[in-house]
């Protein structure tokens, strides 16, 4: 398929689709660091900037849009689908109509199924149905492919194929491993500790995009030897399925601090590849999975519209189960030790929480904090004398 990528970011969707045999004919992205990455990683592909100023797109078979999630994310503004950022999805429908787009692939956070009673999904599905598209969506976890727990909604709408045969043709039993703190790495959010941990046995919790100022917010990883580190940006890229140094071009234009935001905002490449493979060769949706989707029912993790009726679909978040090495062996680069200040603050919050902590976790955090008391402080480069 010829792909027109809106809100392309650093090309996660488009990279995965390319690996499945599709090719981009244009990429639309307005954020400078992301545009620098696209220019370097998709040479020769025409680039457009502000989607609001795009009147039409080149001929294409598939439009993709990982539209902004800031207004839909549980960690973001939660202004809803009508927010200034997430509301830009309206331009998807404008450009669909202008170019008679046959098939559309959208991606966004799973929290939009619950925010404002599911208003975002209602708005999207109504818009597709009004234009004569069948649709299906499924919540998919990156953990099926990589050691990152990351649930995202993938929605396919089409006039030429049945989206259910794309998204619901595959299901796998998640791979499970018996983990202990002594044998496997465990990821968590060191910035939390009161209401949650984001605890991930042999995986990291969802990589975030950091602050609006570009301050990174990587998760922490407790290694089997008791060290607590935050992953290197190159391993963060790999945890999203990119080759390491994929976001390097952003650093080359002086925006190194934003590389974490680029990675956190991205679509996981292997998930996009799986969707792309099924777009190229649709499978078969087992309709015994269907049940009527009552209008008053909360939006489920997966659903479809066959042209006349809406159905909830019973299916897991794991379309495949890809064998992989343990997290601590997956990592290629030494992480940065969690600082004394960060470890102390996290430990203080753990002391006030009512959460049920994993056995031995509190003691390991305290031991790491104590080791950091003697860890060399970072040196600051002095300005050159005039």
Each residue of 175-221: pLDDT tens digit? 888 999 999 999 999 999 999 999 999 999 999 876 556 678 899 99
- The predicted structure's pLDDT at residue 180: 97
Residue with the bigger pLDDT between 373 and 68: it is: 373
- The predicted structure's pLDDT at residue 380: 46
- The predicted structure's pLDDT at residue 340: 97
Each residue of 59-99: pLDDT tens digit? 999 999 987 644 444 454 444 445 444 467 888 999 998 88
- The predicted structure's pLDDT at residue 125: 94
Question: Would you give the end-to-end CA distance of the chain in angstroms?
Answer: 58
Give the residue among 211, 251, 253, 219 at the shortest CA–CA distance from 236. Answer: 219
Q: How far is CA 210 from CA 171, 204, 219, 248, in A?
A: 32, 15, 10, 17
For the chain, the average pLDDT equals 90
Each residue of 106-129: pLDDT tens digit? 999 898 888 878 888 998 999 999
Task: Report the alpha-carbon distance of residue 268 to residue 329 in Å, rounded.
Answer: 20
Range in 12-26, 77-91, 248-262 with the lowest mean pLDDT: 77-91
Domain ranges of the chain: 2-174+266-313, 186-241+253-263+325-372
Which residues face 310 on adjacent strands? 305
| Strands across the sheet containing 220-222 | 200-201, 186-188, 220-222, 228-230, 336-337
What pTM did the predictor assign?
0.91
- Please confirm, yes or no, whether 203 is among the known catalytic residues: no
Task: Report the alpha-carbon distance of residue 374 to residue 372 in Å, rounded.
Answer: 5
Task: Report the alpha-carbon distance of residue 113 to residue 298 in Å, rounded.
Answer: 8
- The predicted structure's pLDDT at residue 194: 93
Q: Which of 45, 51, 62, 69 is catalytic?
A: 69
Specify burial of residue 381 (Cβ count, 10 A radius: 0-12, 13-18, 19+): exposed
Q: Which tokens sit at 256? A: 């190194």
Q: Under a CB-based contact definition with an 8 Å cutoff, are residues 310 and 332 in contact? A: no
Task: Report the alpha-carbon distance of residue 40 to residue 17 in Å, rounded.
Answer: 18
Range in 114-118, 245-249, 269-273, 322-326 with the lowest mean pLDDT: 114-118
Classified as helix, coil or strand, 298 is coil
Task: Report the alpha-carbon distance of residue 15 to residue 268 in Å, rounded.
Answer: 9
Task: Report the alpha-carbon distance of residue 42 to residue 39 in Å, rounded.
Answer: 6
Fold of 2-174+266-313: Rossmann fold (3.40.50)
- The predicted structure's pLDDT at residue 114: 86
Task: Report the alpha-carbon distance of residue 166 to residue 72 in Å, rounded.
Answer: 25
Helices (H) and strands (E) in the chain, counts: 12, 15
Give the residue among 104, 93, 25 at the shortest CA–CA distance from 60. Answer: 25
- The predicted structure's pLDDT at residue 382: 47
Angle between helices 12-19 and 269-280 (to 10 degrees): 50
* C-alpha count within 13 angstroms, C-beta hemisphere, residue 251: 11
- The predicted structure's pLDDT at residue 212: 56
- The predicted structure's pLDDT at residue 86: 47
Strands (E) across 207-249 are located at 220-222, 228-230
- The predicted structure's pLDDT at residue 172: 97
- The predicted structure's pLDDT at residue 386: 35
Q: How many Cβ atoms sit within 10 Å of the Cβ of residue 53?
A: 10
Q: Under a CB-based contact definition with an 8 Å cutoff, are residues 151 and 141 in contact? A: yes
- The predicted structure's pLDDT at residue 224: 98
Q: Which tokens sit at 79? A: 């202004």
Q: How far is CA 96 from CA 57, 85, 205, in A?
A: 9, 19, 35
Q: How many Cβ atoms sit within 10 Å of the Cβ of residue 266?
A: 27
Each residue of 147-175: pLDDT tens digit? 999 999 999 999 999 999 999 999 999 98
- The predicted structure's pLDDT at residue 378: 61
């Amino acid at each position: 398929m010829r792909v027109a990528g809106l809100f392309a970011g650093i090309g996660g969707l488009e990279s995965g689709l390319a690996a499945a045999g599709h090719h981009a004919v244009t990429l639309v992205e307005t954020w400078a660091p992301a545009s620098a990455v696209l220019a370097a990683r998709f040479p020769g592909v025409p680039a457009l900037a502000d989607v609001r100023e795009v009147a039409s797109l080149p001929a294409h078979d598939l439009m993709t849009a990982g539209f902004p999630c800031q207004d839909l994310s549980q960690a973001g503004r939660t202004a809803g689908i009508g927010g200034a950022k997430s509301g830009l999805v309206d331009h998807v429908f404008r450009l669909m109509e202008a170019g008679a787009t046959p098939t559309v692939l959208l991606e966004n956070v799973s929290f939009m199924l619950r925010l404002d009673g599911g208003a975002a999904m209602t708005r999207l599905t109504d818009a597709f149905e009004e234009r004569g598209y069948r649709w299906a969506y499924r919540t998919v976890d990156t953990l099926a492919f990589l050691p990152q727990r990351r649930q995202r909604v993938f929605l396919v709408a089409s006039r030429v194929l049945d989206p259910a045969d794309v998204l619901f043709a595959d299901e796998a039993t998640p791979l499970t491993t018996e983990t202990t703190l002594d044998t496997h790495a465990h990821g968590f959010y060191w910035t939390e500790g009161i209401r949650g941990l984001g605890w991930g046995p042999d995986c990291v919790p969802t990589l975030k995009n950091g602050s609006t100022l570009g301050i990174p917010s990587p998760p922490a990883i407790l290694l089997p030897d008791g060290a607590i580190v935050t992953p290197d940006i190159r391993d963060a890229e790999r945890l999203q399925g990119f080759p390491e140094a994929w976001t390097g071009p952003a650093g080359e234009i002086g925006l190194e601090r934003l590389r974490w935001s680029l990675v956190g905002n991205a679509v996981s490449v292997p998930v996009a590849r799986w969707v792309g493979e099924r777009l190229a060769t649709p499978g078969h949706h087992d309709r015994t999975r269907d049940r009527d989707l009552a209008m008053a029912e909360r939006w489920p993790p997966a659903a479809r519209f066959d042209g006349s009726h809406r159905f909830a679909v019973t299916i897991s978040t794991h379309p495949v189960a890809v064998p992989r090495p343990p997290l601590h062996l997956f990592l290629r680069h030494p992480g940065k030790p969690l600082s004394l200040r960060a470890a102390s603050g996290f430990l203080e919050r753990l002391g006030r929480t009512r959460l049920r902590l994993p056995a031995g976790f509190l003691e390991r955090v305290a031991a790491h904090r104590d080791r950091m008391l003697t860890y060399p402080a970072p040196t600051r480069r002095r300005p050159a004398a005039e």
